[in-house]
Amino acid sequence: MALEAKGCIAIVEAVIYALLLAIALFTMMKSGFHGFGRGWITFSIFMSIRIASDIITIIEETKSEVSTGLIIAALVLSSIGLSPLVSVGFQVANKLTMSIHGTELPAHIKKLTRIVHILLIVSMGLSIGAASDLTSDKSSEISNGVTLLKASTCLITAAIALLGLLALIHMDAVNMIGTSKNSLIARRSELALIGVLPFYIMRTIYSTASAFTLGSDGIITSHPSPWNFFEGSWRIYLVLAVIPQIIISTIYIFMLAVTDFHIDITPKDYEMERGPESQLC
């Protein structure tokens, strides 16, 4: 069978992520983990998930009959794929915090990061459970799948909201840093986070609308919503799901490739200039 619009989108998307993954691997081989450590691994996992999801979408569209297994696999990969991308954002935010404070990550930020990682792991688990239920023939299981997908989407939305809050909180502090190596890390990290926030929001809008417009007949339906992941509008899917993720990935990969994330653990000159009463907690 000839590929439809989403199959063609999947081909282009897979090529783009393959190129980004190649750049990431080249950068890691050239300069090690470059101070970003686990972030490189998480980012590589995200891009690999996207490539796998695109390949499955292409295979599914070339088949004459609908394959439940392929649909479940594509839905799982699509649902859990956003979690690693959000995790990369928090790791950039952690480097931003460390470069501002000039110390190891503060205890309260460590706790927040752990909470977010738990949210993302739970979200992935809910998505996997939802994918299986949404393709069931039983209405009770479909209803349960819709509920799980909604819960997963809410957790991802909460994590992105926290990421945006961290970026906004640090804006003033970044502007007060001098010209040290840490200031370069902080400014690039802050610029990247502020730059990706609108696209995280766009992606969240798609995920939320897709989850909350699902009917009682699940993913495979004769009357799909325009937001339906499989049978909805490819234009909405392209503008609010595919393009935002590619832009976020491109911003991160460029920032990570040109920035040395080795933080100098030294006293902060800007804090001494501002006085303790104006420091961030």
What would the pLDDT profile of 133-154 be if each residue is shown by its tens digit? 877 777 788 888 888 888 988 9
Is the confidence at residue 81, as pLDDT, over 60?
Answer: yes
| Of residues 138 and 202, more confidently modeled | 202
Give the residue-averaged pLDDT of 234-258.
90
What pLDDT is attached to residue 68?
Answer: 65
- Residue 219 in contact with residue 229, Cβ under 8 Å? yes
| Of residues 279 and 178, more confidently modeled | 178
| Of residues 34 and 73, more confidently modeled | 73
What pLDDT is attached to residue 15?
Answer: 96
What pLDDT is attached to residue 174?
Answer: 64
What pLDDT is attached to residue 196?
Answer: 93
Give the residue-averaged pLDDT of 167-182.
67
Q: Which residues contact 237 (CB under 8 A, 6 or more apart)?
A: 6, 9, 206, 229
- Residue 74 in contact with residue 66, Cβ under 8 Å? no
Q: What's the CA gap between 10 and 219, in Å, rounded?
A: 19
DSSP 148-204: HHHHHHHHHHHHHHHHHHHHHHTHHHHHH--SSHHHHHHHHHHHHHHHHHHHHHHHH
Q: What's the CA gap between 139 and 136, in Å, rounded?
A: 8
Give the residue-averaged pLDDT of 80-107.
79
H-run or E-run covering 54: helix 38-62
Q: What's the CA gap between 99 and 106, in Å, rounded?
A: 11
Give the residue-averaged pLDDT of 162-180.
72
What pLDDT is attached to residue 43?
Answer: 83
| Of residues 130 and 248, more confidently modeled | 248
DSSP H stretches of helix in 63-104: 68-101
Q: How far is CA 87 from CA 17, 65, 76, 217, 229, in A?
A: 18, 36, 18, 32, 23
DSSP 105: P
DSSP 34: T
- Residue 99 in contact with residue 182, Cβ under 8 Å? yes
* pLDDT tens-digit series, residues 247-277: 999 998 888 777 766 665 554 444 444 444 4
Structure tokens at 164: 């945006």
- State the average pLDDT for the chain: 79
User: Which amino acid, one-letter code, is at 186?
Assistant: A
Q: What's the CA gap between 182 and 199, in Å, rounded?
A: 26
| Of residues 111 and 271, more confidently modeled | 111
Q: Minimum mean pLDDT among 9-23, 101-115, 119-133, 231-245: which range?
A: 101-115
| Of residues 88 and 78, more confidently modeled | 88
What pLDDT is attached to residue 224?
Answer: 72
Q: What's the CA gap between 12 and 178, in Å, rounded?
A: 42
* pLDDT tens-digit series, residues 210-219: 888 876 666 6
